[in-house]
Structure 1
């Protein structure tokens, strides 16, 4: 099939493009041409900018595709432009949303039918921690209104795997590779959950090939932090509780993926993917995600908020506090 990907050169989009090619499909990508492009030569490159509205999508005129995968739609203006322009040109519109759309992220587990955040106004264009979820809610509504049963909404958990320049998940396999005493958050009983980008990509291919509509959470195995440490191969964990973490001003930026079990956002580490699994989602073992991410990240020159020096300082001060 001929498939159009809006975006496609970065992390998640790149994996989707590669999965489509591996399945034998022909892929066109529409990008602004501003990101590094390491896609295979057989991918058709189209240039456009949805921020310019219909005028920015002239490269799509007169073309048709079996499906469109929207990886780069973050604001209502962007998504309205593409959803309306492609309404008669694509068979299915697959929108990559986020688990951040849920209004009650303290639920355990979070399911597709749970309440959503109030939608953002279409005039909102600034993407912040506060507007990201509401903006995606509005984008989802635009896609559903335009495509009905031809719409598929995918709500991934935090995405992990090779090419992840967000430096969230990669921190942990990179840190584990250094060995020695390793600062870990909590007491090991909280939970961590991600979705491997390659699993998301394969499921995207599946919903296109099978014509599957609807809304799907995408999440991988839910591990306790103690299990996650074992997966990473951390031999000398040093668990530091929430009060101590706050004392040293260590939060999600320094210790990515850590959300305390009973925190207001705790349900975001308990996302139910039962519906997607029933529809054919397959999951990479956590050991595979960790190993493959490390194989990529060791030459990716990522930088992390928690430096080795700062970690060593906290571990030293923690020992002094306990003695």
Structure 2
């Protein structure tokens, strides 16, 4: 039995991990602000703290030891320093949920990104109060946090791992990004796609992230390593939507317009969240070689997600509210 602390753990992949962990003989504790109101599985303990407040964290974690900590809710270097200071000598393995965007904010990195592409100078920040700045800021701060853990491992033997994730497609995605495409395809109307950039997609299924976490939790090796977690297939957005349409029995009505036109109309990124520059494309060879990871085929997990959508009552996301305007835009601007 291992003592496992999950920081966050009530949304998306964290929720799925907790559900998986209770199947095994582990002592599980969740630490979060306690605002979600979700009932915990039997035997799961809860700690309340705002992780941005070091004193709250100190009171919550004082004198506690964990075999594994999985942190879904750490976003900045300062927060990483707090965890290193509190947990050094009190944790056997600390797993930081990072992002493929640590590569996207690096100058000169080429797709697809491997773990060896991490080192390098960070690009300057885009203009503030823009979508690009928000995405850059997210990747930049995740990178600063990784740098803290890397230094702590080298200097103090802090037992960290980083999992770098691309877009995660899952049943509980709080942003409902894949569901956005599903709704647009289901209503039979046009799907607006910007002409550029035309980067290939290489996402990951949420339950495969859970699988990678379980492998690390049960593995006594691989301390101090970062791993990209990403599906095997690399596809274009047309191929991706074509596969989704095949599963739904619908031929997608893809309409391409210049990015400037779609931005001026206020449609991006809502109308097509998977065609942004900030979608990372990651290799996965290290995770397969060192962790023994295998990945769910894209078509198989898309089928699971479509089945979930068809049998679950899901409130349309705010990003679907202007759907009527998208349809009217195409009517005014036919090919």
Work out whether the TM-score is over 0.5.
yes
- What residue is the counterpart of 2:127 in the other structure? none
Separation (CA, whole Å) in 2 of partners of 1:187 and 1:137: 26
Closer/same/farther in 2, CA of residues 181 and 252 from structure 1, 3 Å limit: closer
Contact 1:222/1:269 (8 A) holds in 2: no
The one of 126, 137, 140 equivalent to 1:134 is 140
Cα shift at 1:235: 0.8
**SS of 2:301 mapped into structure 1:** helix
Contact kept in structure 2, 1:84 and 1:146, CA below 8 Å: no
Shift in alpha-carbon separation, 1:149–1:55, aligned structure 2, 3 A: closer
Query: Relative to 1, partners in 2 of residues 1:179 and 1:283: Cα closer, same or farther, differing over 3 Å?
Result: farther
Q: TM-score, normalised by structure 1?
A: 0.84
CA contact (8 A) 2:69 2:94 kept: yes
Q: Is the CA contact 1:14–1:39 (under 8 Å) kept in the aligned structure 2?
A: no
Alignment partner of 1:280 out of 244, 268, 292: 292
CA deviation after TM superposition for structure 1 residue 112, in Å = 1.1
Q: Deviations over 1:50-88 (max 9, x none)?
A: 322144332222322211111111122322222221112
Partner of residue 229, structure 2: 218
Instruction: Give distance in 2, aligned partners of 1:215 and 1:242.
Output: 37
**Alignment partner of 1:197 out of 206, 216, 226:** 206
What is aligned with 2:251?
235
Change (3 A) 1:69 1:277: same
Map 1:1-323 onto structure 2 (within 5 A): 1-102=2-103, 103-104=106-107, 107-114=110-117, 115-116=119-120, 118=122, 128-147=134-153, 148=157, 150-186=159-195, 190-211=199-220, 212-213=222-223, 214-220=225-231, 221-233=233-245, 234-242=250-258, 245=262, 248-259=265-276, 265=277, 268-278=279-289, 279-297=291-309, 298-306=312-320, 307-319=322-334, 322=335
Residues 273 and 25 (structure 1), Cα distance of their counterparts in 2 relative to 1, 3 Å cut: same
Shift of 1:188: 12
Give the CA deviation at 1:130: 3.5
Distance 2:67 2:15 in 1: 19
Superposed CA offset, 1:286-316 (max 9, x none):
2343333344455231324353312211221
Unaligned runs of 5+ in 2: 125-132
Q: Distance in 1 between matches of 2:182 and 2:26?
A: 33
Q: Distance in 1 between matches of 2:271 and 2:283?
A: 27
**Corresponding residue pairs, total:** 308
> Alpha carbon RMSD of aligned pairs, Å?
2.8
Question: Which range moved further: 104-113 or 85-94?
Answer: 104-113
